[in-house]
Structure 1
Amino acid sequence: MRRLLPYPLLTASLLVMWVLLNDLTSGHVLLGAVIAISASNVMARLQPQKPRIRRWLSIPQLIAIVAADILRSNIAVARLILRQKHVRRVSGFVTIPLDLRDHTGLSVLACIVTSTPGTAWVEYDSARSTLLLHVFDLVDEGEWIDLIKNRYERLLMEIFE
């Protein structure tokens, strides 16, 4: 069974996503199952490092913080765009030194930063352990460094390292 479904959670979530994006018919369920099982087997051949979660209790806190930040950022970006003539906006890049080394934690941080409107993960330099972040409305670089390090990186290090 492990050979057919090396990543059962991935297979199940892909199947659920397929059914949610398409109709709930037997044909779509069958096609979604074939695609999900195939994707799971491709992942097994890539042999990714399996994440180790050390503090499960920090995950709900991280989810709540990210959800609140995404909501707040949506409102802030919408205001900036709608009041474009009245507000002076300066976009820019911020280099953030990271202490986080876990690959899964870095991937989660990339998802958080990229899913938050107004920010984009541009580059990660593994040799220097720095993140290059693009910010839509850059007012204070230090504030962004503090936000990433104390709000996200600290929790991700608790969870994964």
Structure 2
Amino acid sequence: MIRRLLPHPALSVLLLVFWMLLVNELSFGALFLALVFAVLIPLITSRYWPDRPRIRFGPDLMAYLAIVLFDIVVANFHVAWIILTRRNRDLRSRWLVVPIELRSAEAITVLAGTISLTPGTVSSDVSADGRALLVHALDVADPEAEVARIKQRYEARLLKVFR
């Protein structure tokens, strides 16, 4: 019964939380409307998600989010330092091809989004077979080490989160 009412529980929780954040008011009306949206939107859209990914909510996801937030803060300072102390000709910008083991489109999207959220790197494209991600990095001394860092720091953790 609950599975039919909430076909995508994680999406329902996400919709509820984001609605309450957008409204920026804790009232019965706002909470009621958030609950209506959190139930109806997944019900209406569930037929478009036949193969929804299985996500493990727990320590692995929390660790991934903590690492991403930490990396975003550190990268902001690193990029600011590069901009303030170097000239354009001193930058070692590179295109990196990151081979990926992730197979679900949602997991690959999360990886690409994580890379793009981190200042100094932008994911640009996914290969047609879905086995490589093209990434532009602002300043890279060792391209192979940067690819290994992306795989170890982000992809390995996402493999645990998306089963």
Kept in 2, the 8 Å contact 1:55–1:160? The answer is no
Q: How many residues align?
A: 161
Q: Give distance in 2, aligned partners of 1:10 and 1:49.
A: 14
**Deviation sequence 1:38-81 (CA, Å, 0-9, x none):** 42124302124233357955434433332332221121122223
Q: Which residue of 1 aligns with 2:73?
A: 71
TM-score (norm 1): 0.77
* Secondary structure of the corresponding residue to residue 97 of structure 2: strand
User: CA RMSD for the aligned pairs?
Assistant: 3.0
TM-score (norm 2): 0.76
Q: Give distance in 2, aligned partners of 1:40 and 1:143.
A: 41
Q: Which residue of 1 aligns with 2:131?
A: 129
Quickly say closer, same or farther: Cα 1:126–1:100, change in 2 above 3 A.
farther
Quickly say closer, same or farther: Cα 1:118–1:158, change in 2 above 3 A.
same
Quickly say closer, same or farther: Cα 1:58–1:13, change in 2 above 3 A.
closer
Moved more, 25-34 or 148-157: 25-34
1:119 paired with 2:121, answer yes
Q: Give distance in 1, aligned partners of 2:113 and 2:17.
A: 21
Q: Give distance in 1, aligned partners of 2:83 and 2:21.
A: 32
Gaps of 5+ in 1: none
1:36 paired with 2:47, answer no
Percentage of matched positions with identical amino acids? 35
Report the structure, 1 or 2, having the larger helix content.
2
Quickly say closer, same or farther: Cα 1:86–1:96, change in 2 above 3 A.
closer
Kept in 2, the 8 Å contact 1:124–1:132? The answer is yes
Kept in 1, the 8 Å contact 2:94–2:143? The answer is no
